[in-house]
Amino acid sequence: MQAGATVVSRPLRYIAGRAQQKGVDVALAIDVVTLAIDGAYDVGIIASTDTDLRPPIEYVLRACPSVRLEVLAWRSERSRQRLSLGKQNVWCHWLDEDDYASIADFSDYRV
């Protein structure tokens, strides 16, 4: 398997002059579930705090016990929110500014 990413573009919608993305969370949820069912990954890390992603995480943890799902969240003085499932423990990778700088990827995957 080749390393890298598959870019899926989604158009922005403008409401009151502000750009909003639509469909990205649904696409991510579908990928998390279908790739787990297909056995395409052993460990998946979701970099989001959007609670809409709880159901696919819960499904994968229940239906695909050989797959491990984890989350990634931003940690700063002003923010410390993470995606969690209540009583079910999901490992969180906390990133601060130095962590982010050390893993930043400026590749243009559209090429």
Domains of the chain: 12-103 (3.40.50.1010)
Q: Record the pTM.
A: 0.74
pLDDT tens-digit map of 21-73: 777 888 889 999 999 999 999 999 988 888 888 899 999 999 999 999 998 88
What tokens appear for 100 in the block? 């982010």
- Helical (H) or strand (E) element with 31: helix 24-37
37 CB-near residues (< 8 Å, 6+ apart): 63, 64
**CA dist list (Å): 82 to 5, 19, 59, 93, 109:** 24, 24, 19, 9, 27
Q: Are 43 and 68 in contact (CB under 8 A)?
A: yes
